[in-house]
């Protein structure tokens, strides 16, 4: 489904990704782990199409389509979803209004009819229940005044409503207490499906106790230095990132 | 891949939607300003001697005044002798009795503006007093209002039919020598609206006026007077668009509101005059004096404005809170795009005890637009336990525009409670990217973000107006951003 080959990317003249290869098949959950500054978030932003990053070499394909040719919203229409590490606040815009606009923009782009208010509300309630998010969150402005945990839950809710093909979770576990972490993980697990893939980006192994990945990749200094099964995460937990070749000690 | 900046620029290149010219023969005074011209205007309108004298007094005062330069706006000097101070559609002396008698071309103009009078009359329940150039050409629903004793007519008609009311209130809120532009207006005002709500009457419909500047090289000098007697209520809507012009056109209106005991006046404006082209050529100069007097106890005046047009805006709708427990409110959205400049805000003068005021100002700057909030809150010594809450938020779109805030607070009574909040935000690439990532394109994202930013003001607008205001904002920012 997702094929990343020899991906090089830089921001403000500094090369961050130095040849990343990653292949994700439908139904799979991949974890990308790495210390601060290894390029994890850059990878997420590049996948979503953030302007600030320049791809200098390599390729990015989703279902055989070249992502580099697509604007961020076109990638979304193609089924790519990014759960942001720092979800953005949009004061004055209701959360459910925002989501309805998003759902209908995607439906329109895919040639489907737009949902009316009633149908959307039904979908929203159903999805909110699925990922266990309080409906009160829906009535507030997008992320405005949300706690860190609420913001992350809101990302999961958006993911549940938008039903992406490929979901990239950028450090969704950061700053969460254990209860919030469990809720978020349960939400992701509820959405696991044969035709949907996840790339879970994280610094810590902790999240992977709750979202068990099929594959784990270690990203160090802009390259994937090792790949393996879920046991690799436990190895990392014990040895730290310092135990890998070419790696510097964890900051 | 199109970037946010590309989209903003593409949108900025959209033409002004309402730019067209209607060909109607004008009955126009020669250019220039003198006592003779003022006498000509007054005679044209068949005015009583006292009003001519009042105009002349204003004119003589104006001659000694200098144009204010303290506002944060820049424009070419105005040659007041090259302006025509009177223009009226030719059919003036034979005023139409119904819409059927109106020049079809004028009606077509309104159609183009999206304000079909007939539809409004039938569907919206809005009484429309349409000002075409300087003379009102249509007034509707007047009979229905008359049953309640409500007077809603053009200013000129009020002078003929209700001279005692005009004479009693004219210039009591904005004195004829109040400031340079108010004095100019007082000397040469052409027409405008007059509203009188009798004691205890709740005006059953929103009163509305559409202004349109059309005559070549003719300044417009509207004069509006609204009086709400004890315990009455009125909501007045003012909206406008203007056709494309090469010369800058001067507009200096005066609006006076008087609210007696327990009366409420809600005055809403959506202003969309031609802002000039991308280089700032053409476009309206809008120098307006709007002031309300909360004369009686527990009276209330609310100003709500959505300012998207004009090349230069200089406008400070104000409240004088004289009655004890009176309330003043100001809700504003001001947009400056391309080369537009807006210096706008409000003045709240607390005189009575326990008076309170609220100021919510949202300034949006895009392109090379400059947006200034200038507000003054004065608590006089007599104003025991007065309260004010001010919130001034600015939003910047792009990196060539500017936002400026000048709040003046002047407190002479220590029991006053003052709160002031201010913020400046840049419409973030981050916000746009977040929306994009959810599948929403940049144009819709900007419009959504801006509407969210302005929500507190839009919800103060009457329902049918709020929709129009959002559309205007979209059009003018589409032209600019999104």
Q: Does A157 touch chain B (CB under 8 A)?
A: no
For B97-142, write each residue's pLDDT tens digit. 555 655 565 555 555 556 555 544 433 334 455 554 444 434 556 6
Residues of chain B in contact with residue A139, where contact means CB-CB under 8 angstroms, are none
Distance CA B309, CA B79 (A): 22
Q: How far is A235 from chain B (nearest CA, A)?
A: 34
Six-digit token string for B417: 């409670």
- Determine whether the interchain pair A90/B451 forms a contact, defined as Cβ–Cβ distance below 8 Å: no
Pair B152, B162: CB distance under 8 Å: no
Whether the pLDDT of residue B27 is over 70: the answer is no
Residues of chain A in contact with residue B362, where contact means CB-CB under 8 angstroms, are none
- Determine whether the interchain pair A76/B430 forms a contact, defined as Cβ–Cβ distance below 8 Å: no
- Determine whether the interchain pair A92/B3 forms a contact, defined as Cβ–Cβ distance below 8 Å: no
Q: Which residue among B436, B448, B456 places its CB closest to the CB of A73?
A: B436
3-state secondary structure chain B: CCCHHHHHHHHHCCCCCCCCCCCCCEEECCCCCCHHHHHHHHHHCCCCHHHHHHHHHHHHHHHCCCCCCCCCCCCCCCCHHHCECCEEEHHHHCCCCCHHHCCHHHHHHHHHCCCCHHHHHHHHCCEEEEEECCEEEEECCHHHHHHCCCEEEEHHHHHHHCHHHHHHHCCCCCCCCCCHHHHHHHHHCCCCEEEEECCCCECCCCEEEEEECCCCCECECCEEEEEECCCCEEEEEEEEECCCCCCCEEECCEEEEEECCCCEEEEEEEEECCCCCCCCCCCEEEEEEEEEEECCCCCEEEEEEEECCCCEEEECCEEEECCCCCEEEEEEEEEECCCCEEEEEEEEEECCCCCEEEEEEEEEECCCCEEEEEEEEEECCCCCCCEEEEEEEEEECCCCCEEEEEEEEEECCCCCEEEEEEEEEECCHHHHHHHHHCCCCHHHHHHHHHHHHCHHHHCCCCHHHHHHHHHHHHHHHHCCCC
Q: Does B5 touch chain A (CB under 8 A)?
A: no
Q: What is the pLDDT of residue B209?
A: 59
Q: How far is A44 from chain B (nearest CA, A)?
A: 12
Residues of chain B in contact with residue A72, where contact means CB-CB under 8 angstroms, are 1, 433, 436-437
In B, minimum Cα distance to A140 occurs at B452
User: Looking at this predicted complex, what is its ipTM?
Assistant: 0.94
Distance CA B130, CA B152 (A): 12
For B168-219, write each residue's pLDDT tens digit. 999 999 999 999 999 999 999 988 889 999 999 999 888 875 444 444 334 5
- Determine whether the interchain pair B448/A158 forms a contact, defined as Cβ–Cβ distance below 8 Å: no
- Determine whether the interchain pair B439/A141 forms a contact, defined as Cβ–Cβ distance below 8 Å: no
Residue B240: pLDDT band (50, 70, 90) is low
Distance CA B288, CA B310 (A): 12
Residues of chain B in contact with residue A89, where contact means CB-CB under 8 angstroms, are 431
- Determine whether the interchain pair A105/B436 forms a contact, defined as Cβ–Cβ distance below 8 Å: no
Residues of chain A in contact with residue B435, where contact means CB-CB under 8 angstroms, are 90, 98, 102
Q: What is the pLDDT of residue B170?
A: 95
**Strand partners of residue B328:** B301, B357
For B153-177, write each residue's pLDDT tens digit. 888 889 999 999 999 999 999 999 9
- Determine whether the interchain pair A90/B439 forms a contact, defined as Cβ–Cβ distance below 8 Å: no
- Determine whether the interchain pair A51/B444 forms a contact, defined as Cβ–Cβ distance below 8 Å: no
Phi, psi of A195 (to 5 degrees): -100, 15
Q: Does B455 touch chain A (CB under 8 A)?
A: yes
For B365-408, write each residue's pLDDT tens digit. 888 888 889 999 999 999 999 999 999 999 888 888 888 889 99
Task: Name, in order, each residue with C-beta under 8 angstroms of B363's C-beta and a sequence gap of 6 or more.
Answer: B334, B336, B342, B371, B372, B373, B392, B393, B394, B395, B403, B405
Pair B285, B67: CB distance under 8 Å: no
Mutation target to probe the A interface, by most A beta carbons within 10 A, among B437, B442, B448, B457 is B437
Q: How far is A97 from chain B (nearest CA, A)?
A: 10
Among A173-177, B16-20, B220-224, B294-298, the range of highest mean pLDDT: B294-298
A:B CB pairs within 8 Å = 83
B47-76 residues touching A, CB cutoff 8 A: none
Q: How far is A50 from chain B (nearest CA, A)?
A: 7
Q: Which residue among B1, B4, B455 places its CB closest to the CB of A92?
A: B455
B423-454 b/e with 16+ CB inside 10 Å = b?
Answer: eeebbeeebbbbbbbbbbbbbbbbbbbbbbbb
Mutation target to probe the B interface, by most B beta carbons within 10 A, among A62, A92, A139 is A92
Residue B78: pLDDT band (50, 70, 90) is confident
Higher-confidence position of B231 and A176 = B231
Q: How far is B16 from chain A (nearest CA, A)?
A: 27
- Determine whether the interchain pair B434/A91 forms a contact, defined as Cβ–Cβ distance below 8 Å: no
Whether the pLDDT of residue A183 is over 50: the answer is yes
Whether the pLDDT of residue B15 is over 60: the answer is no
Q: What is the pLDDT of residue B13?
A: 45
Residues of chain A in contact with residue B428, where contact means CB-CB under 8 angstroms, are 88
Q: Does B430 touch chain A (CB under 8 A)?
A: yes
Q: Which helix (H) or strand (E) holds A32?
A: strand A29-33
Percent of chain B residues past pLDDT 70, beyond the cut: 76
Domains in chain A (CATH in brackets) are 2-14+60-225 (3.40.50.300)
Q: How far is A249 from chain B (nearest CA, A)?
A: 32
Q: What is the pLDDT of residue A26?
A: 94
């Amino acid at each position: 489904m997702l094929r990343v080959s020899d991906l090089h990317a830089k921001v403000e003249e500094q090369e961050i990704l130095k040849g990343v290869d990653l292949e994700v098949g439908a139904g799979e959950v991949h974890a990308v782990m790495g210390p601060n500054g290894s390029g994890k978030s850059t990878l997420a932003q590049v996948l979503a199409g953030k302007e600030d990053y320049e791809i200098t070499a390599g390729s990015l394909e989703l279902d055989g389509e070249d992502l580099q040719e697509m604007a961020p919203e076109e990638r979304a229409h193609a089924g790519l979803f990014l759960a942001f590490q720092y979800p953005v606040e949009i004061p004055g815009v209701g959360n459910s209004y925002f989501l309805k606009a998003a759902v209908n923009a995607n439906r329109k782009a895919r040639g489907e009819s737009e949902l009316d208010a009633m149908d959307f509300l039904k979908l929203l309630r159903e999805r909110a229940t699925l990922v266990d998010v309080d409906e009160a969150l829906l009535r507030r402005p997008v992320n405005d005044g949300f706690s860190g945990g609420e913001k992350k839950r809101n990302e999961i809710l958006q993911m549940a409503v938008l039903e992406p093909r490929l979901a990239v979770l950028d450090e969704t576990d950061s700053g969460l207490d254990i209860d919030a972490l469990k809720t978020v993980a349960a939400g992701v697990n509820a959405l696991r499906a044969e035709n949907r893939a996840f790339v879970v980006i994280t610094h810590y192994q902790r999240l992977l106790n709750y979202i068990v990945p099929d594959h784990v990749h270690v990203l160090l200094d802009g390259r994937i230095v090792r790949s393996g099964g879920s046991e690799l995460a436990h190895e990392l937990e014990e040895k730290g990132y310092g135990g890998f070749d070419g790696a510097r000690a964890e900051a | 891949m199109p970037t946010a900046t590309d989209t903003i620029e593409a949108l900025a290149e959209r033409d002004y939607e309402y730019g067209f010219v209607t060909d109607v023969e004008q009955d126009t005074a020669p250019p220039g300003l003198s006592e003779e011209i003022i006498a000509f205007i007054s005679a044209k309108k068949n005015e009583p001697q006292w009003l001519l004298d009042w105009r002349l007094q204003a004119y003589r005062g104006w001659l000694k005044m200098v144009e204010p330069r303290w506002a944060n706006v820049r424009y070419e000097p105005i040659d007041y002798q090259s302006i025509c101070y009177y223009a009226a559609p030719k059919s003036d002396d034979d005023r139409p009795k119904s819409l059927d008698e109106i020049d079809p071309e004028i009606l077509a103009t309104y159609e183009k503006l999206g304000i079909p009078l007939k539809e409004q009359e039938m569907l919206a329940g809005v009484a429309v007093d349409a000002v075409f150039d300087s003379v009102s050409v249509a007034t509707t629903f007047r009979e229905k209002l008359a049953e309640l004793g409500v007077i809603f007519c053009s200013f000129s008609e009020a002078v003929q039919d209700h001279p005692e009311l005009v004479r009693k209130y004219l210039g009591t809120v904005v004195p004829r020598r109040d400031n340079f532009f108010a004095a100019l207006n007082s000397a040469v005002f052409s027409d405008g609206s007059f509203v009188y709500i009798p004691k205890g009457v709740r005006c059953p419909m929103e009163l509305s006026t559409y202004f349109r500047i059309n005559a070549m090289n003719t300044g417009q000098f509207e004069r509006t007077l609204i009086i709400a007697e004890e315990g009455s209520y009125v909501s007045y809507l003012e909206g406008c668009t203007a056709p494309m012009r090469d010369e800058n056109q001067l507009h200096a209106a005066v609006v006076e509101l008087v609210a007696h005991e327990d009366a409420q006046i809600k005055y809403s404006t959506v202003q969309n005059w031609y802002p000039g082209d991308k280089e700032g050529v053409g476009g309206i100069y809008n120098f307006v004096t709007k002031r309300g007097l909360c004369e009686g106890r527990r009276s209330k005046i609310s100003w709500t404005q959505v300012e998207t047009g004009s090349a230069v805006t200089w406008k400070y709708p104000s409240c004088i809170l004289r009655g004890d427990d009176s309330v003043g409110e100001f809700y504003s959205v001001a947009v400056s795009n391309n080369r537009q400049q807006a210096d706008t805000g409000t003045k709240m003068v607390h005189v009575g005890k326990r008076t309170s005021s609220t100021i919510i100002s949202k300034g949006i700057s895009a392109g090379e637009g400059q947006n200034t909030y200038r507000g003054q809150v004065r608590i006089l010594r007599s104003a025991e336990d007065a309260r004010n809450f001010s919130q001034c938020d600015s939003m910047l779109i792009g990196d060539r525009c500017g936002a400026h805030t000048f709040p003046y607070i002047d407190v002479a009574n220590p029991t006053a409670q003052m709160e002031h909040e201010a913020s400046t935000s840049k419409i973030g690439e981050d916000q746009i990217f977040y929306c994009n990532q959810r599948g929403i394109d940049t144009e819709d994202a900007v419009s959504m973000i801006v509407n969210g930013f302005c929500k507190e003001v839009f919800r103060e607008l009457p329902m049918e107006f709020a929709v129009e205001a959002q559309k205007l904002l979209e059009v003018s920012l589409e032209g600019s951003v999104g």
